[in-house]
Amino acid sequence: MIWRRLKLKSQTLLSEMSVNKSSIIFVDNAINGIFKTVDALKRNFEDICIFNQEKDFLEFLETNRADVIFLNLDLQPNDGVVLCKEIRQRNLDSNPFIVIYTDKQDDFVQELAFNSGVDSFINFHNKASVMELFLKNLLRRRVKIKSDQKREVFIDNDRHLIFKNGVAFQLPRKEFKLFELLYNNAEKFFSKPEIAVSIWNDETVASKRTIDVHVYNIRQFFGKRIIQSQKGKGYRINKKLIG
C-alpha cells in the first residue's frame, strides 16, 4: 500500500462550510503523476488521501468518510468505471461525489462512466487553480443538498441522485431523465411520443414498451402514486408528493 494523508493549516474558503474538513480521495496506480496537482490543492484542502491500490482504498472507505473521490479511468485491475459501481453499491452515508479523470475524450467512455454513477468526467491536467474552483463548487453543492433534503422528494441534477425523505436513490440514466422531465413540469401530462423525443430523441420508442417499463421501475422506487397516468394524455408527476 502507498497512500499519503496531507494535513496542513488551511484558510476558510467558504462561508457556509469549512472546506479544509472535507475528505478528498485520489485513487491512481501511478501516484507520482498527480503529486504536483495535489501539492497545489493541499494549500486549501486539509484532508487529502492518495491510494494506488483498490483493495486499500476500499478498506479505508469502511471506516472513513469520503466527500469527493477522484478515480483514474485507467486503474488496474478494475478501471475507474467498475470501481465507481462498487462504491455506489456500498450506499455510503456520505454520498460522495465521484469524479473520473483521464486524457481520453471518447463519448462512449464518458457514457459508460455516467451510467456507472459518476458525477463528473474531467481532464486531470487542468490547471491547479481550475481544479481548486471545481472542488469548491462541488462542496458548495453538498451544503445545498443537506438543506434541501428535508423535502419529501428532491432532485440533485449534478449527481443524478433523487432524494426521498432524505434517502438517496440512484436511477439508471434514462429513468433519471424521465423522472427529471416530469418533476420539472409538474402540471403537465407528457404523451409517450413527447417523452420518446425528449429522452431518447427517437419518436419510435413511443411504440415500444420501453417507456412503460421505465415508469414501472420508477414506481418501484418511489411508490405507485409518484407518477400519474391518464389514458389519451400520458404521464405526469404527482405534485402532491414532491414537497
Position 219 scores a pLDDT of 86
Q: What is the average pLDDT across 178-195?
A: 91
pLDDT tens-digit series, residues 58-112: 999 888 888 889 999 999 999 999 999 899 888 777 778 889 988 777 778 788 8
Q: What is the average pLDDT across 13-33?
A: 65
Query: Do 153-241 and 3-148 have the same topology in CATH?
Result: no
Residue spans of the domains in the chain: they are 3-148, 153-241
Q: Which three cell numbers stand for residue 131?
A: 481544479
Q: Which amino acid is at 218?
A: I
Instruction: Name the pairing type of β-strands 23-27 and 47-51.
Output: parallel
* C-alpha–C-alpha distance, residues 148 and 102, integer Å: 32
Three-state SS at 70: strand
Per the listing, cell 411504440 goes with 207
pLDDT at 200 over 90: yes
Task: From 95, 55, 59, select the one nearest 77 (Cα to Cα).
Answer: 55
Q: Which CATH class is domain 153-241?
A: mainly alpha
Tell me the backbone φ, ψ of residue 190, rounded to 5 degrees: -110, 125
Position 83 scores a pLDDT of 93
Instruction: Name the pairing type of β-strands 68-72 and 23-27.
Output: parallel
Position 142 scores a pLDDT of 57
Which residue did the predictor score with more confidence, 3 or 85? 85
Which residue did the predictor score with more confidence, 14 or 18? 18
pLDDT tens-digit series, residues 114-141: 887 888 888 766 677 788 888 877 776 6
Distances (CA, A) of 176 to 10, 27, 31, 132, 161: 38, 28, 35, 29, 8
β-strand partners of 121: 100
pLDDT tens-digit series, residues 26-63: 999 887 777 778 888 888 887 888 898 999 999 998 88
At the fourth CATH level, the homologous superfamily of domain 3-148 is Response regulator (3.40.50.2300)
Position 159 scores a pLDDT of 66
Which residue did the predictor score with more confidence, 150 or 227? 227
Ordered DSSP codes for 1-40 = --EEEE--------SSS-GGGSEEEEE-S-GGGGHHHHHH
